[in-house]
């Protein structure tokens, strides 16, 4: 526990005091009429330390209308060690530590090393703490109170919600987990919207397509004989062309045979018309009968040969003509029927494709439905995490509130307010008997302030003097942990009376 006590303060030309020395004790009673200069004693202390009045506002204490040098010297004791601090102001300010002149910065550093300025004002002036912004009050009060551990909070939550958070809190902080799941939920909600739209579109398409009901079996029954018929016609067409080409082949064979026979006839005729030469073509001498016969014989041999060739050709021609005559004459094909059948087949197949599309659409609808359901489940899991976070926070707040409440007896402190959406928002308000600080009477405010000082002093482990002014308005109050300086308005001469006590107790 750090102990700060004031031993004495010496004022020179400070507001209405030209020269006064105040010796402090456990209790220092300052009494006098209005305007006697009671509050100025407290101001002198805070001005010396910080250049401010007891409420922490800038102060110009030089006696009005003079150019006198204002000076305050404060002898204080910190954990048993005494320091004499001095500040003076004429045109410029001067600072002293143990009578040694120091720079403003050195002086400030020294004062700050004794105690944080805000904490000093909060402990010295009962009305200072509640005069700060609520955020500062909250921060100052809670800075020494540790938040309950996650484990403690989880143990106070329902089983399902605490299980939901437990594992997740091992990986992420509560804040990150919240950000993560808010973001995840936002994205999932967008995807869910899209999935729902897609499902709707698919269902509409399916409705349209299945409006003209397709009976696959009936179509197939109609289609099968048509395909069989078409195969039959195609076979007929095949046969027609085969026959046509077979006849064509024989016909051209006949044609070439006729030509060959004609040529053969003239070959035979040519041999027949040959004149027998009776004299040698070279010497002109008449050939003998033997030679002539030989020539005749030769002509006869060639003639017979060519005639037999001609006969063979005629035989071939006759055979060809016979087989042509034996060939069936291909009938002309009427393609109208085939075309009609083809048209029917195509239209039936289009219908069958439609049926395939219905099947595909059914599958798509099922897939879209399960996708939508999957997204809904995922989103729900994020919602339960977010809900659990809300519960976690409110349980943690409750534990925190309990911790803080346990510190006070007369006053209570509001740390959270409930928003309309059920979420909790940090706030700070001191209350006494259910009334907010701002509505309290002067005396009630002092009492509340004194309790706060006691708590802050305990929390920060620092004891400082406390300056209660307007104490005339209050009948009884509990002494603060440190020295007490009390200013009271009384219709008598200005007086300062230090009282030493053995122990703290109820004060008159």
Ligand X SMILES: Nc1ncnc2c1ncn2[C@@H]1O[C@H](COP(=O)(O)OP(=O)(O)OP(=O)(O)O)[C@@H](O)[C@H]1O
| Sites of contact with Mg ion (CB under 5 A) | 38-39
Choose the contact partner of 40 out of ligand X, Mg ion, none; CB within 5 to 8 A by kind: ligand X
Query: Is the four-CA dihedral 49, 51, 54, 55 of positive or negative sign?
Result: negative
CB of 500 to ligand X, least distance (A): 24
CB 366 within 8 A of CB 359: no
Q: Is 16 in the site for ligand X (CB under 6 A)?
A: yes
Q: Of residues 64, 325, 326, 475, which one binds ligand X by CB under 6 A?
A: 64
CB of 487 to Mg ion, least distance (A): 6
Q: Select the span of 38-46, 199-207, 249-257, 293-301 touching ligand X (CB under 6 A).
A: 38-46
CB 382 within 8 A of CB 402: no
Q: Of residues 3, 12, 25, 39, which one binds ligand X by CB under 6 A?
A: 39
Describe the chain by its helix, strand, coil percentages, rounded to 5: 55, 20, 25
Which residue is closest to Mg ion by CB?
Answer: 39
CB 404 within 8 A of CB 415: yes
Residue 389 or 496 with smaller CB distance to ligand X: 496
Q: Is 63 in the site for ligand X (CB under 6 A)?
A: yes
CB of 477 to Mg ion, least distance (A): 17
CB of 68 to ligand X, least distance (A): 10
Choose the contact partner of 64 out of Mg ion, ligand X, none; CB within 5 to 8 A by kind: ligand X
**Paired tokens of 254:** 């006949």
Residue 36 or 388 with smaller CB distance to ligand X: 36
CB of 35 to ligand X, least distance (A): 3
CA 266 to the chain's CA centroid:
107
Q: Is 58 in the site for ligand X (CB under 6 A)?
A: no
Q: Of residues 35, 158, 225, 436, which one binds ligand X by CB under 6 A?
A: 35
CB 302 within 8 A of CB 271: yes
Pairwise CA distance, residues 160 & 182, whole Å:
20
CB of 25 to ligand X, least distance (A): 20
CB of 37 to ligand X, least distance (A): 4
Residues with Cβ within 8 Å of 255's Cβ and at least 6 positions away in sequence, in order, are none
Q: Select the span of 61-69, 251-259, 283-291, 436-444 touching ligand X (CB under 6 A).
A: 61-69
Rg (CA), the chain: 63
Q: Is 127 in the site for ligand X (CB under 6 A)?
A: no
Q: Is 38 in the site for ligand X (CB under 6 A)?
A: yes
Q: Is 40 in the site for ligand X (CB under 6 A)?
A: yes
Helix (H) or strand (E) holding 271: helix 216-272
Pairwise CA distance, residues 456 & 116, whole Å:
13
Residues with Cβ within 8 Å of 54's Cβ and at least 6 positions away in sequence, in order, are 39, 42, 43, 45, 46, 121, 124, 125, 128, 467, 469
Q: Select the span of 28-36, 112-120, 400-408, 458-466 touching ligand X (CB under 6 A).
A: 28-36
Residue written as token pair 């197939």: 220
Q: Is 185 in the site for ligand X (CB under 6 A)?
A: no
Show contacts with ligand X in window 448-507 (CB under 6 A): 489
How many CB atoms within 10 Å of residue 382?
19
> How many chain residues touch ligand X (CB under 6 A)?
15
Pairwise CA distance, residues 387 & 381, whole Å:
10
Choose the contact partner of 87 out of ligand X, Mg ion, none; CB within 5 to 8 A by kind: none
Choose the contact partner of 216 out of ligand X, Mg ion, none; CB within 5 to 8 A by kind: none
Choose the contact partner of 35 out of ligand X, Mg ion, none; CB within 5 to 8 A by kind: ligand X
Residue 32 or 310 with smaller CB distance to ligand X: 32
CB of 119 to ligand X, least distance (A): 25
Choose the contact partner of 15 out of ligand X, Mg ion, none; CB within 5 to 8 A by kind: ligand X
Q: Select the span of 36-44, 100-108, 112-120, 308-316 touching ligand X (CB under 6 A).
A: 36-44
Give the end-to-end CA distance of the chain in Å, rounded to a whole number: 27
Pairwise CA distance, residues 381 & 394, whole Å:
20
CA distances to 6, 99, 101, 423 from 83, rounded to whole Å, are 10, 10, 14, 51
Q: In the beta sheet, which residues pair with residue 413?
A: 430
CB 24 within 8 A of CB 6: yes
Residues that bind ligand X (CB under 6 A): 15-16, 32, 34-40, 61-64, 489
């Amino acid at each position: 526990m750090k102990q700060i006590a004031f031993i004495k303060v010496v004022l020179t030309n400070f507001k209405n005091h030209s020269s006064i020395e105040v010796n402090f004790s456990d209790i220092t009673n300052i009494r006098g009429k209005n305007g006697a200069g009671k509050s100025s004693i407290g101001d002198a202390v805070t001005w010396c330390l910080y250049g401010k009045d007891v409420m922490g506002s800038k102060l110009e204490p030089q006696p009005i209308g003079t150019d006198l040098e204002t000076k305050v010297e404060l002898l204080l004791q910190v954990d048993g060690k005494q320091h004499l601090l001095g500040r003076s102001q004429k045109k410029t300010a001067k600072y002293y530590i143990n009578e040694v002149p120091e720079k403003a910065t050195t002086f400030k550093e020294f004062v700050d090393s004794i105690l944080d300025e805000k904490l000093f004002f909060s402990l010295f002036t009962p009305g200072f703490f509640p005069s700060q912004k609520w955020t500062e009050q909250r921060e100052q009060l809670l800075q020494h109170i540790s938040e309950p551990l996650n484990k403690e909070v989880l143990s106070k939550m329902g089983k399902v919600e605490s299980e939901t958070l437990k594992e997740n809190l091992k990986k992420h902080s509560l804040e990150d987990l919240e950000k993560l799941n808010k973001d995840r939920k936002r994205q999932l909600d967008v995807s869910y919207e899209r999935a729902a739209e897609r499902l709707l579109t698919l269902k509409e398409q399916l409705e349209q397509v299945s409006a003209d009901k397709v009976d696959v079996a009936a179509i197939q029954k109609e289609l099968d004989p048509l395909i069989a018929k078409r195969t039959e016609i195609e076979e007929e067409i095949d046969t027609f062309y085969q026959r046509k080409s077979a006849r064509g082949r024989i016909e051209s064979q006949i044609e070439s045979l006729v030509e060959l026979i004609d040529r053969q006839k003239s070959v035979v005729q040519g041999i027949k018309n040959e004149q027998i030469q009776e004299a040698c073509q070279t010497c002109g001498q008449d050939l003998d009968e033997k030679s002539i016969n030989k020539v005749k014989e030769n002509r006869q041999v060639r003639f017979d040969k060519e005639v037999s060739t001609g006969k063979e050709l005629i035989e071939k021609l006759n055979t060809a003509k016979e087989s042509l005559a034996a060939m069936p004459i291909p009938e002309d094909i009427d393609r109208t029927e085939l075309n009609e059948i083809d048209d029917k087949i195509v239209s039936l197949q289009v219908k069958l494709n439609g049926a395939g599309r219905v099947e595909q659409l059914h599958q798509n609808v099922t897939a879209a439905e399960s996708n939508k359901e999957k997204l809904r489940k995922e989103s729900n899991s994020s919602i339960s995490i977010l809900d659990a976070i809300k519960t976690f926070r409110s349980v943690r707040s409750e534990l925190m509130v309990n911790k803080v409440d346990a510190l006070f007896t007369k006053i209570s402190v509001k740390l959270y307010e409930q928003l309309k959406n059920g979420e909790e928002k940090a706030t700070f308000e001191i209350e006494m008997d259910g009334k907010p600080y701002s509505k309290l009477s002067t005396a009630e405010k002092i009492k509340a302030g004194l309790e706060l000082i006691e708590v802050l002093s305990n929390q920060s482990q620092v004891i400082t003097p406390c300056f209660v002014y307007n104490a005339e308005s209050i009948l009884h109050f509990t002494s603060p942990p440190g020295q007490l300086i009390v200013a009271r308005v009384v219709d008598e001469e200005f007086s300062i009376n230090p009282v030493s006590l053995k122990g703290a107790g109820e004060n008159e």
